[in-house]
């Protein structure tokens, strides 16, 4: 559970090809302790990119390949334990890492869901019972409506069912506008495109901020420098590309670090404008 001490592209190369220690990266946002939890890491596949030609792939993808990851985020505040997404649930890895950090599942107060794809809600239930037995589950009203009524995802229905009335919906705020917290220090922001209700979460404490970008992008090596390239997983690829550029531009101009569910270890870093796109510098 240590931070990388190398700089620049060296950091990126190491982060892109394997994570250190236990796959838990620790950072602070004011008084809040934030942990990026790696659930899995495997070889990446550029076949999920839409419109990435050979020149783009040759420029940004190393000859030796790259890694794809699935992450969740745990936040310890002085009063609450909050989980953002829960991974696929495979092997109980995310739950085990939460326990390793000294928190039993019943002591998780809130679970914030970025969207209802299976690699983000999988640890919510096990054998029909709520894993986080006392937690409220928060997600956007639009996301819940789409995946439980319009285009039903039975896995999502089953995952949410044990929480009953503790499933709480909200309307995400607009990027750059006045936001409304759903739990102390955390505000949701609409980033529709990947899914109809895909939501980012802005963590703020004191003067510090961290923007959890969920599935704003899937292959950082390409989609930071060329945000117009979407993934096959994006339900509305044009909208996903537009919001990707908007969010990255906002993070860069306001110097807000980001963390993503598919950014390889450490899973978090800073964004800066570079040419017609953006540069991502992993945290140390």
| CATH number of the domain enclosing 14 | 3.60.15.10
Model confidence pTM above 0.85: yes
* Three-state DSSP state, 244: helix
pLDDT in tens, 76-129: 999 999 999 999 999 999 999 999 999 999 999 999 999 999 999 999 999 999
**Residue 2, pLDDT above cutoff 50:** no
Residue 7 has pLDDT above 50, yes or no: no
Tell me whether the omega of the peptide bond preceding residue 104 falls within 30 degrees of 0, making it cis.
Answer: no
CA distance 157 to 155: 5
Mean pLDDT of 58-87: 97
Q: Is 2 inside any structural domain?
A: no
How far is residue 37 from each of residues 97, 233, 264, 278, measured CA to CA in Å?
7, 22, 11, 25
Give percent above pLDDT 90 in the chain.
Answer: 92
* DSSP letter for each residue of 113-175: -S--SHHHHTTSEETTEESSTT-EEEEEHHHHHIIIIIS--HHHHHHHGGGGGGEEEE--B-T
Residue 178 located in a structural domain: yes
| pLDDT tens per residue across span 258-268 | 999 999 999 99
Domain count, the chain: 1
Is position 86 within any domain? yes
What pLDDT does 10 receive?
Answer: 31
Q: Is residue 170 part of a domain?
A: yes
The average confidence (pLDDT) of the chain is 93
The pLDDT score that the predictor gives to residue 21 is: 63
Q: Which two tokens mark 91?
A: 């092997």
118: containing domain: 8-282
Report yes or no on 248 lying in a domain. yes
For residue 236, tell me if it sits in a domain. Answer: yes
Q: Taking residues 26-35, report their average pLDDT.
A: 98
179-224 residue pLDDT tens: 999 999 999 999 999 999 999 999 999 999 999 999 999 999 999 9
Pick the residue with more confidence: 119 or 12? Answer: 119
In a domain, 1, yes or no: no
Distance CA 154, CA 158 (A): 6
Does the structure show a pLDDT above 60 at 255? yes
**Does residue 255 fall inside a structural domain?**
yes
């Amino acid at each position: 559970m240590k931070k990388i001490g190398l700089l620049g592209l060296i950091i990126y190369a190491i982060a892109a090809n394997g994570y250190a220690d236990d796959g838990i990266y620790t950072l602070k946002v004011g008084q809040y302790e934030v942990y990026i939890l790696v659930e899995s890491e495997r070889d990446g596949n550029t076949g999920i990119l839409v419109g990435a030609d050979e020149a783009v792939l040759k420029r940004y993808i190393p000859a030796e390949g790259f890694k794809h990851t699935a992450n969740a985020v745990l936040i310890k505040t002085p009063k609450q334990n909050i989980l953002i997404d829960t991974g696929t649930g495979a092997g109980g890895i995310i739950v085990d890492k939460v326990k390793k950090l000294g928190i039993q599942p019943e002591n998780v107060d809130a679970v914030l869901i970025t969207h209802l794809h299976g690699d983000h809600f999988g640890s919510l239930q096990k054998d029909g019972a709520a894993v986080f037995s006392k937690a409220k589950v928060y997600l956007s009203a639009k996301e819940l409506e789409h995946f439980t009524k319009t285009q039903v995802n039975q896995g999502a229905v089953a995952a949410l069912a044990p929480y009953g009335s503790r499933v709480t919906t909200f309307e995400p705020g607009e990027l750059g506008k006045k936001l409304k917290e759903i739990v102390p220090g955390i505000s949701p922001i609409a980033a529709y495109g990947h899914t109809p209700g895909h939501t980012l979460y802005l963590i703020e404490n004191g003067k510090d901020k961290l923007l959890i970008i969920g599935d704003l992008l899937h292959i950082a090596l390409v989609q930071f420098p060329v945000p117009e390239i979407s993934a096959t997983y994006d339900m509305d690829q044009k909208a996903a590309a537009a919001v990707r550029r908007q969010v990255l531009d906002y993070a860069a101009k306001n110097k807000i670090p980001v963390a993503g569910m598919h950014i390889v270890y450490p899973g978090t870093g800073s964004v800066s404008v570079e040419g017609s796109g953006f540069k991502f510098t992993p945290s140390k």
